Structure 1
Amino acid sequence: MSTSTVAPIAARITPSGKLSGTVTPPGSKSYSARAVLAAGLAPGASRIRRIANSRNVRALIAAVATLGAEISYEDNDLVVVGPSELRDKQTIDVGNSGIVLRLLLGATAHLHHTTFVTTYADSLGRRSNIEMLDALRQLGVDADWQERDGRLPISTYGVGIHGGSTSIESRKSSQFLSGLLYLGGRLDSALEIHVPDELKAPAMVRTTQQVLATAGVETSASPDGLHYQVPSGTAFAPAEFSVGSDPASTAALLALAAAMDSEVSIRHTGLTELDGVVDYVRSVGATVTVGPDEIRVQGNPAALKPLDFDGSLSPDSVLPLAALSAHADGTSVFRNIEHIRYKECDRISDFRKELRKTGIESEETADSLVIHGGPSGATEHAVIDCHFDHAIVLAFTLIGARSKHGLVIENSGVVGQTYPDFFRDAAELGIDLNLSSEPVVTAGA
């Protein structure tokens, strides 16, 4: 069994037995990215404890360095010394991360000229950012882009920026709103932000507000989460940040343990953005005990029950929980999830496309995913296209481990976007897998 941390072309997952052991998920990608940006915008030295090592976070570290921050490491901590003035007229590679792009679109909108690019034309390059660009235009920021709907590459021009009021459509993503909150900490005048439709993933906006508060930036929100204010006179200041456990990675481990005969301990450094997830896993049929620094899971595959889930509570948990529900005897519905169509891939339609290869039945609406599960799970061997999305890799590792014939996940190294050591940890728990740098050859190829 190979468990190299080098990004593999293919992960071969075969039916696995009992899982046991202790595993520690990485630090929160979401919190780490926000903390890195806040530190890079503050003139002076900030420290981020237990920084995540995901590709998204590394992309944001590189971005703040491009903008003038000095970066160093002390043990497991990242030290960021922000410049007194951000460098203008820079080109920033945002990798394959929507949160990196959208936070930076807001945070740098006051600069005279910034250009954003990606080498992932078929993933992040396909995602629209027109909502953010429209909101910035209301504040006097000009922009141009090469493709339709505000797709990358994008250039912004902030010479005419002003404070005041703007609106941001957030049905597709809360990341746009988070980016504008960062901008509020860079303006001399007050900023008001209105959400005219509905806010998806409010837990992630609360994470943004928590990070900004730690960095000295004051924000306020209306009780319904549709109106936000950043007062004049607030500004970024050096701070110390402590990163909790990554919610997507933790949810994937919870689902994996619940789907198998298991006795697994998941060490954590704080649980955020997991609203409803632990209760879901427990209600589906696993025994889950949550302690101050550890979650204990005892999986009982024979006891799995179908159960619906409101995906707006924890969007990054939807696919691992959907993979778990595929092994419950009955139908489960994941609602309020249209926004996950606009991630690294369409996590509804693209996920279903891969499910069909394995023999698992499903349906979809504009904002829901319906899984028709059964104890046998995947009945067909399949080669899975992960669509450059770590969430697909996490979900199909579970499906492969419970499958009849196993499966292969192509380009599975993209799991490093969130959880670089996922395959090492899964193998240590007892998942039977092999990582190969050889291309997958299928019949007829």
Structure 2
Amino acid sequence: MHGLNQRYTVRPGGRLAGRLRVPGDKSISHRAIMFGGLAEGVTEVDGFLEGADCLATLAAFQAMGVQVETLGAGHVRVHGVGLHGLQEPAGPLDLGNSGTAMRLMAGVLAGQVFDSTMVGDASLSRRPMRRITEPLALMGARIETAQNGTPPLRVRGGQRLNGLDYAMPVASAQVKSALLLAGLYAEGETCVTEPAPTRDHTERMLTGFGYEVKRDGARICLQGGGILSGGRVEVPADISSAAFFLVGASVAPGSDLLLEHVGINPTRTGVIDILRLMGADIEVLEEREVGGEPVANLRVRHAPLHGIEIPETLVPLAIDEFPALFVAAACAEGETRLSGAAELRVKESDRIQVMADGLVALGVDAEPQADGIVIRGGELGGGTVDSHGDHRIAMAFAMAGLRAAWEIVVNDCANVETSFPGFVATACAAGLEVAVEA
């Protein structure tokens, strides 16, 4: 279906009920392939997300000589080649729609002896890359971008990298991770200081692969020149994918849904905190730790939501969940205000503008701001919205159908496969009436 324009048609009403497990966490799946490839020995990954983004990372490592076996749904075995065992790829590495893959790989490729080029699809080719190429250059990396700082990225091999002490201007897990990955290849110590907490999967997984990471408040440091040791990685269900169902069940009367084995890493649970501030009924059950990551079952039942001013401290902890949260705001009583989220304008689409346009098309009062949005909740009508090829926007507007007065049509939905293969089937099984057509 990829490459074709897909359209969702959502019938109004319904409720979400039962139990479901959304696919594996995208951030952790990317890193499991990368770290497994760079480790000594074999890494077994369970719960791997077989979405287009993570498969692009897998293909890139295969192109550099890493053997990866697919052993069944979500189970892959990676035969690591060590930090210095990657081979020059025959051609450009195509990372599709994945900003995470391109930014993290820049850190890895900066430390190799060979030249390499990374390319992406139309959306990725518009995304800003100077935020990683500039600090990497301070370490001694040589990476060329297109004129406006966007892909393709051409990475020159054979550069000597030196450790760096870097204070990030903007909270970004991708920048932090790229620098720590380059730090594996650098002389001396690499330290990154965050202005606000961001997802810490890289630090947790480095530790899980036996690499020492020192953390002191907002500062994370590692020494270059160590080794990664392969092992087992169990990938929890992705809270970013669960978010659509948390919102859908919160807004649809009569809903009672259990989401199983969801990753509840504290750097990712902003969506739960924000929904609870709005009045959502979400219970965290059976908390446990799996492979260094906290996991739980989430039970969500319908509750009347009210508008809030979203605390800026929660913004980096929910950055990928805002398309879903904007739908919650549209269904809430009163006004919801978001600021401090300019980052949303440089995601797979300009998520502030695209969500505002879509909400207005459905009859909701939504005003975009430079770094956020103001949404006055009320009645959702129906109509046609354009996701601009952004997977999270497509899924958010599909959930809006639960509270719509009439049918919602969402255009340009093929990219949902990048993060949530099988979304339509999963949503239908839970009670959303959505059909897909090419």
The number of residues matched between the two structures is: 419
Contact 1:7–1:414, Cα closer than 8 Å, also in 2: no
1:216-237 Cα distance to aligned partner (Å, 9 max, x none): 22222331x2x43211442222
Partner of 2:209: 215
Two-structure CA RMSD over aligned residues (Å): 2.2
Aligned residue number for residue 256 of structure 1: 248
**1:25-50 deviation line (CA, Å, top 9, x unaligned):** 11101111111110011132111111
Is contact 2:163-2:224 (8 Å) kept?
Answer: no
Alpha-carbon offset, residue 143 of structure 1: 2.2
Contact 2:167–2:192 under 8 Å retained in 1: yes
Are 1:63 and 2:64 an aligned pair? no
TM (normalized to structure 2)? 0.90
Q: Which residue of 2 aligns with 1:270?
A: 263
2:89 pairs with 1:94: no
Structure 2 partner of 1:337: 341
- Secondary structure of the 1:152 match is coil
Question: What amino acid does structure 1 have at the position aligned with 2:392?
Answer: A
| Structure 1 residues without counterparts, runs of 5 or longer | 438-445
Q: Take 1:194 and 1:20, find their aligned partners in 2: how far apart are those partners?
A: 43
Match of 1:360 in 2: 364
Q: 1:136 to 1:282 in 2, by over 3 A?
A: closer
Compute the displacement of 1:399 (Å): 1.6
**SS at 2:244's partner residue?**
helix
Stretch of structure 1 that moved more, 305-314 or 405-414: 305-314
Instruction: Give 1:433's aligned amino acid.
Output: V
Q: Which residue of 2 aligns with 1:105?
A: 106
SS state of the match for residue 408, structure 1? strand
Matches for 1:126-145 after TM superposition, within 5 Å: 126-145=126-145
Match of 1:291, SS state, is strand
* Cα deviation, residue 299, structure 1: 0.7
Corresponding letter in the other structure for 1:138 = L
Contact 1:354 1:385 in 2 (8 A): yes
The Cα of 1:323 is off from its aligned counterpart by 0.7
Separation in 2 of the partners of 1:221 and 1:290? 27
| 1:287 and 1:299 in contact (8 A); partners too | yes
Amino acid of the residue matched to residue 203 of structure 1? Answer: T
Query: By how many angstroms is 1:335 displaced?
Result: 3.1
Q: Determine the C-alpha separation between the residues in 2 that align with 1:172 and 1:230.
A: 19
Once residues 199 and 418 of structure 1 are traced to their aligned partners in structure 2, the CA distance between those partners, rounded to angstroms, is 28
TM-score by length of 1: 0.88
Deviations 1:62-115 (A, max 9, x none): 111111110112344210002251112552111111000001000111123110
- What's the % identity of the aligned pairs? 26
Pairing 1:13–2:13 present: no
Distance 2:237 2:133 in 1: 32
| Counterpart among 190, 193, 200 of residue 192 in structure 1 | 190
Describe the shift of the 1:387–1:220 C-alpha distance in structure 2 as closer, same or farther (beyond 3 A): farther
Q: Contact 2:163–2:183 at 8 Å: present in 1 too?
A: no
1:443 maps to none
Which position in structure 1 is the counterpart of 2:79? 81
1:179 correspondence with 2:178: yes
SS at match of 2:373: strand
Which of the numbers 15, 34, 51 marks the counterpart of 2:48? 51
Report the 3-state secondary structure (helix = DSSP H, G, I; strand = E; otherwise coil) of the residue aligned with 1:159.
coil
Higher mean C-alpha displacement, 334-343 vs 33-42 = 334-343
Q: Which runs of 4+ in 1 moved over 4 A?
A: 4-8
Alpha carbons 2:172, 2:198 under 8 Å: kept: no
Aligned residue in 1 for 2:293: none
User: Counterpart of 1:313 in 2: which secondary structure?
Assistant: helix
Per the TM alignment, residue 142 of structure 1 is displaced from its structure 2 partner at its CA by: 1.6
2:393 and 2:232 map into 1 onto residues whose CA distance is: 33
Q: 2:124 maps to what in 1? A: 124
* Residue of structure 2 in register with 1:238 after alignment: 230
User: 1:222–1:282: structure 2 CA closer, same or farther, 3 Å change rule?
Assistant: same
Distance 2:262 2:271 in 1: 17
Cα offset, 1:7, TM superposition? 7.1
Counterpart CA distance in 2 for 1:339 and 1:235 is 34
Given that 1:109 and 1:156 are in contact with CA atoms closer than 8 Å, whether structure 2 keeps it comes out as yes
Offset of residue 241 of structure 1: 1.0
2:425 aligned counterpart, secondary structure: helix
Deviation of the 1:351 alpha carbon = 1.6
Q: Tell me which moved more, 172-181 or 339-348.
A: 172-181
Partners in 2 of 1:246 and 1:169 — Cα distance?
26
Specify the alignment match of 1:313 in structure 2.
317
Q: In structure 1, give the amino acid aligned to 2:17.
A: S
Counterparts of 1:353 and 1:193 in 2: how far apart (Å)? 41
Question: What are the ranges of 5 or more consecutive residues in structure 2 without an aligned counterpart?
Answer: 287-295
Amino acid at match of 2:147: E
Amino acid at match of 2:302: G
Which residue is equivalent to 2:326? 322
Code of the residue aligned with 2:115 in structure 1: it is H
1:203 is matched with 198
Deviation at 1:356, TM superposition (A): 2.0
